[in-house]
Amino acid sequence: MPSIFTRIINREIPGHIVAEDDHHIAFLDINPLVPGHTLVVPKLEVDYLFDLEDGAFCKLQLFSKKVADALEQAMPCLRIGVSVIGLEVPHCHIHLIPINSMDDMNFSRPKLNPTQDELTVIANRIRQILDPRS
Ligand code: 5GP
């Protein structure tokens, strides 16, 4: 069965997509730790990040860097925190989190539950920075 992220990639379920190329996608986490929490995902459905072959792993990091740069401009913060967990969704992904304190990276904390409209506003802001013509 395809992962929930593959279903977002295939547009079978909605996602607030901020960036995409042939091999990667980035979209907002539906239950963010902080506003702007973004997931960067390879389209190839591999569970464990470190099982990606070297080339795919490096390209995913470069794609993440581009998204992180835009995210930092869109969501003023001290920096973008990076985390890999993967205990919930078995399709590897990188969490990019706009942080102002260590606690912003605390995955044990209750998550936020933003409205679709709130997610749309943030996704548009990030997309605009990545592609000002969008
Ligand atoms: P992890 O697998 O790294 O432990 O966590 C998976 C992350 O994916 C969680 O932060 C969770 O909120 C997010 N997530 C789970 N299901 C969906 C979904 O259907 N859409 C989006 N955008 N995010 C999801």
Q: Which string of DSSP letters, residue by residue, matches 28-86?
A: E-SS-SSTT-EEEEESS--SSGGGS-HHHHHHHHHHHHHHHHHHHHHS--SEEEEE---
Question: Closest residue (by CA) to atom 1 of ligand 1?
Answer: 86
pLDDT, residue 21, reads 97
- Ligand 1 contact, 63 CB (< 6 A): no
Find the 29 Cα to ligand 1 centroid distance in Å. 6
Is the pTM of the predicted complex or chain greater than 0.85?
A: yes
Q: Is the CB of 37 under 6 A from ligand 1?
A: no
Which fold would CATH assign to domain 4-130?
Answer: HIT family, subunit A (3.30.428)
Match 């967990």 to its residue by tokens: 85
Predicted confidence (pLDDT) per residue in 24-62, tens digit? 999 999 999 999 999 999 999 999 999 999 999 999 999
Asked whether residue 134 carries a pLDDT value surpassing 80, the answer given is: no
User: What span, in angstroms and rounded, lies between the C-alpha atoms of 6 and 96?
Assistant: 19
Q: How confident is the model at residue 111 (pLDDT cuts 50, 70, 90)?
A: very high
- Output the pLDDT for position 115: 98
How far is residue 19 CA from its own chain's centroid?
9
CA 26, CA 42: separation in Å to the nearest integer? 9
**Cα of 128 vs its chain's centroid, Å:** 16
